[in-house]
A and B are shown apart, each in its own frame.
Chain A
Amino acid sequence: MAEDLNWAIGGEAGDGIDSTGKIFAQALSRAGRHVFTSKDFASRIRGGYTAYKIRTSVDQVQSVVDRLDILVALTQRTIDENLDELHDGSAVIYDGERSWDAEVPDDITAVDVPLKSIAEDAGGAIMRNIVALGAACEITNFDVEYLDESLEKRFGGKGSKIVENNKKAARLGQEYVQENYDFTDLEYDLETTDNDYVLLNGDEAIGMGALAAGCRFYAGYPITPATNVMEYLTGRIEEYGGHVVQAEDELSAINMALGGARAGARSMTATSGPGIDLMTETFGLIATSETPLVIVDVMRSGPSTGMPTKQEQGDLNMTLYGGHGEIPRFVVAPTTIAECFWKTVEAFNYAEQYQTPVYVVSDLALAVTEQTFPPEAFDMDEVEIDRGKLVEQDEVDQWLDDEGRFRAHAVTDDGVSPRAIPGTIDGAHMSTGLEHDELGRRTEEEGERVEQVDKRNRKVETAKEQEEWNYREFGDSDSDNLVISWGSNEGALVEALEYLEEDGIDVRVISVPYIFPRPDLTEEVEAADEAIVVECNATGQFADVIEHDTLTRLKRINKYTGVRFKADELATEITDKLTEEVPAQ
């Protein structure tokens, strides 16, 4: 892998950390470099520390590492928080004129730039972060002109004067460092390429997937870290003839999404765990009325309000089993940001083909990370739309009973019934959360009850036969060491393979994007000497599921600090775990 550079800007919430980081990430992307970003919201200490971190390389990068090369520190705390990651080749950019006396460890290059004063020279103190970006460009030998387009995009709405001032601020920062410092000891040189990339985060990829899949109705309620899905769709879905509504609460959001779906629009809602708690109330109705609906859960740390800006994969059981009674649902869990797009597209098709709610389970690590991809990773021509047994006017007749009534819950071989949208002649029927007969009318008759339960469960059998519930595989497929993962851990695992290889350890990585229906891993687990399940939760919810499927005890690597796995950390954990005793059967 080519040399990577790890850059960060940190300060207090409200310092414009996010937007500054994003400007730099976009500039790197435009320069034909790959980026992978992450955010520190919080901390070992209480308070408003926040940081935006960028890992960049000419090769694709898909995880974070414990190393920081260039740090823009707007506060002393930013330095203190990142001491472990700084090394003797690191440079820290700070403003020595600020009231705090920066304490930069001796082995780290301290770059004192009067950010505020320079920004004032350029037109206003508010641009001090942009001055710092210019300074960073000089240290990394990265042409400051690459910032221009990002600045135009960010500030274009505020007028050309503001844009020009920002460009000037960046150049003044760059010149100040050029004139006052000599970095012969630091060999940072950001190579550029002619490649075109798209830069987006997991929430945006879900929103884009929804649009490409024909989602035309979205109802939601703001919640971290899922709000970006709604914000992405708002203002864009209208261009495709759709509509977004912000509901009064999550109960309303899911019921509105349900109403949109009943009326025939492809519909979706997105939330996080606390929203899923409320939405679970309606889950059974969606499922038993056999309404196609996509429900996105961007997981964050729980329980209750938990750690709202922290990573966790703790909702697997809730999406897999939540709700009273028994009824099938589909659960897909994208493993990368690009897969957030594709799994959302798939989810809309499963929802209509099998007339069932489909959970798309993403997580905070995917949601807040911006990553570059070649545009081909989102090939719109590959998007196919299958509306299943949605009947059009000329098909209604074949689904009427002897009395001419529409059989909305007809018992069929594949378990899927015809679906008529209100407004269709002869399609009128009722649907209900009560147990019902083929016509959708309530019943408690034993035979009909069993028929309907079996019919609904048969949809899963049909789906198992018709679709490929495969997994993604990395590393050495013949290895005796098997590591199983779900969700966003894939990127860190793939990079951990490189560290493991350096240590002479071969590993087969299986990354599972389908939680239900899911691939049967019995053969894979039996073929391995050691099998470990990696996930960001304390109890090993996915490990439990795989143990149940394979009737084998598995080793577990669990992380529930609120921080995603890092590649180097994961390599060490896997090495340790491989030599550990297998837990008792």
Chain B
Amino acid sequence: MSAFNAIGDEREIDREEYTPGVEPQPTWCPGCGDFGVLKSLKQALPEVGRTPEETLVCTGIGCSGKLNSYLDTYGFHTIHGRSLPVARAAKLANDGLEVIAAGGDGDGYGIGGNHFIHTARENHDMTYIVFNNEIFGLTKGQTSPTSPKGHKSKTQPGGTAKTPIRPLSMSLTSGATYIARTAAVNPNQAKEIIAEAIEHDGFAHVDFLTQCPTWNKDARQYVPYIDVQESDDYDFDVTDRGEAAQMMHETEDVLNEGTVLTGRYYVDDESPSYQQEKKDLGRVPQEPLAERYFDDDAEWERSYDLLERHT
């Protein structure tokens, strides 16, 4: 028998199924943007028809890493910066799962930056949500890779001399096939973008602006925000790499000047995911790797032909 009865289970899903019985109320600070991510996930998952038991959420270290405690799915809280390799491998082993990775900007763009580049490059079929608050929150307010130039903190009392990372541009250059930015202060857009990201067949990267009212008081609350798709001031084709690149660059430039641009930046529905490409080549079996153990006829498929090449 299969161990994966939950996968493909077509049933009505109640949003409250994702709320754990223990600790139903998150302990993030009042006003924290992380609530926005949690809420959008709880809304988007039932909307796209994925049950808690066919969903695996891998988190990193930071305030965002508490997500697993407040979202009742299969959850794996990894170490700092390493959520992506764990998540993409789980998807490779069982692509019936809905796999979501989540972490902060330090986790994803700093210590885990190399994994971010390569997971995007390989276009794994998964969703990556970066809680971007432009600060290290859990360790109480140090400069992060997205902190604006000149930002003062306990580790950079004179203001940081570093230019912030450009998350959207980096994502595009690396090879992500769905790239969006949303903000906790815009829950409707956030829910829609998260749902689209989950449904996208490939690496979907959502840079989620999560204001930190406790440690990043300097930062704006990302209000007012502008949706680049809805505003008449912006016009670009999300399927055009060049136009997307230009729009991303402008978005990253103006964020620290007080203009919060959000929306879909790049959508490539054509490129096959890593797994799809490998399947097409016959290098990955059609059924999940783990599924085979439950096939009584398989006899573990071991045989003496392993020895043949050594004779």
Contact = CB atoms under 8 A, between A and B. Distances in A.
B72 A428 contact: yes
A432 B1 CA distance: 29
B300 to A, nearest CB: 5
B289 A423 contact: no
A199 B304 CA distance: 14
A29 B307 CA distance: 14
A375 interface: yes
Given A422-B94, A423-B53, A255 B89 contact: yes
A378 B94 CA distance: 31
Contacts of A426: 53
A247 interface: yes
Given A251-B82, A385-B300, A263 B97 contact: yes
Interface string A187-208: 0000000001111100010001
Given A217-B289, A442-B69, A422 B78 contact: no
Contact of B92 (A217, A238, A378, A394): A217
Nearest to B21: A403
Interface string B45-78: 0000000111110100000000011001111111
Given A198-B311, A282-B82, A380-B302, A248 B93 contact: no
Contact of A423 (B5, B89, B114, B117): B5
Interface string B270-311: 000000001000111101111011100000111110110011
A262 B87 CA distance: 9
Contact of B6 (A387, A403, A424): A424
A538 interface: no
Contacts of A263: 56, 89-94, 97, 288-290
Interface in A218-262: 219, 236, 238, 240-243, 245, 247-249, 251-253, 255-260, 262
A403 B21 CA distance: 8
A277 interface: no
Contacts of A392: 1, 3, 294
Interface in A440-466: 441-442
B92 A282 contact: no
A259 B90 contact: yes
Contact of B310 (A204, A212, A390): A204
29 contacts: A200-B310, A214-B300, A240-B301, A241-B292, A243-B285, A248-B114, A251-B85, A253-B85, A255-B78, A260-B89, A263-B94, A264-B3, A264-B93, A264-B288, A265-B93, A285-B78, A380-B304, A405-B22, A421-B290, A423-B5, A424-B5, A424-B53, A425-B5, A425-B6, A428-B52, A430-B74, A431-B76, A431-B77, A433-B77
Interface of A: 29-30, 196-200, 204, 208, 211-212, 214, 216-217, 219, 236, 238, 240-243, 245, 247-249, 251-253, 255-260, 262-267, 281-282, 285, 289, 375, 378, 380, 383, 385, 387, 390, 392-394, 403, 405, 421-434, 439, 441-442
